[in-house]
Amino acid sequence: MSEHIEFKRPDGAMAPGFYAEPADNPQAPGIVVIQEWWGLNEQIKRVGKQWTDAGYRVLIPDLYRGEKALDTAEAEHKMDELDFGDAATQDVRGAVQYLKARTDQVGVIGFCMGGVLAVLAAMHAPETDVAVSWYGVPPNEAGDPAGIDIPVQLHFARHDSFFPIDTADAFEGKLKAAGVDYEAYRYDAQHAFGNEDWDNYDQAASQQAWQRSMAFFARHLKG
């Protein structure tokens, strides 16, 4: 089953999203999948399907409220207009709460812009049980990662022009110093290496990151 829905944010407002669940597992744990800067497009829905095929229910918040970016300039403009604090504490947290009403365990995974928001969910959405971020590093002013008290998995690209690897190194250093339960992996690839619709797609790196993400969620949400 899959459908476009509306779910309630913590502030009481309604937000749109795309919900899907496996047909044969009414007890399936949940995963909030957070879009790249392109919007809620067919590519991110395919990402969601990979998770429902793996036995999870999925909710993808529509952070752009039905709008999609068709080129990088438009995508960058839409991302720059997004209120990341509101998206993390209201849209993403609301999506986690929606899934929590249906299952005991809920994780968050995001890519690029969504990768930043996945880390922010680990900081600011207390109902989240585990978080995975692909090539997204939050800015210092977004909050103190030392407060993260859930398992986190991070995937970085060594040749990332959007989130340079030294920023990833610095962020990991903060997690390590705070004793956060985390895993971090680096790939000899460029930004968005997991998006099969973009020029930087790297099949080998993407497959390895998917295997690690799948194992991480299986351990923490199904274990």
CATH number of 136's domain:
3.40.50.1820
Identify the pLDDT of residue 73.
87
Q: Please identify which residue in the block is written with the tokens 């999506």.
A: 95
Cβ proximity of 141 and 134 under 8 Å: no
- Res 172: pLDDT: 97
Based on the structure, what is the number of domains in the chain? Answer: 1
Q: How far apart are the first and last CA of the chain?
A: 25
Return d(Cα 162, Cα 42) in angstroms, integer: 23
- How many other CB atoms are there within 10 angstroms of residue 193's CB atom? 25
- Which residues does the chain have with pLDDT short of 50? none
Instruction: Report which residue type is found at 105.
Output: Q
Domain that holds residue 200: 2-222
Query: Using CA atoms, how far apart are residues 216 and 167, in angstroms rounded to an integer?
Result: 23
Whole-number pLDDT of residue 83: 92
- Quote the CA–CA distance of 21 and 155 in Å, as a whole number: 26
Can you give the pLDDT at residue 70? Answer: 82
Q: How many residues does the chain have?
A: 223
At 26 the pLDDT is: 78
What is the reported pTM? 0.96
Q: Which two tokens stand for residue 64?
A: 């752009």
d(CA 149, CA 213): 19
Residue 143: predicted pLDDT: 87
| Whether the Cβ atoms of residue 53 and residue 26 lie closer than 8 Å to each other | no
Cβ 115 vs Cβ 156: under 8 Å? no
Q: How many Å apart are CA 15 and CA 162, to the nearest integer? A: 28
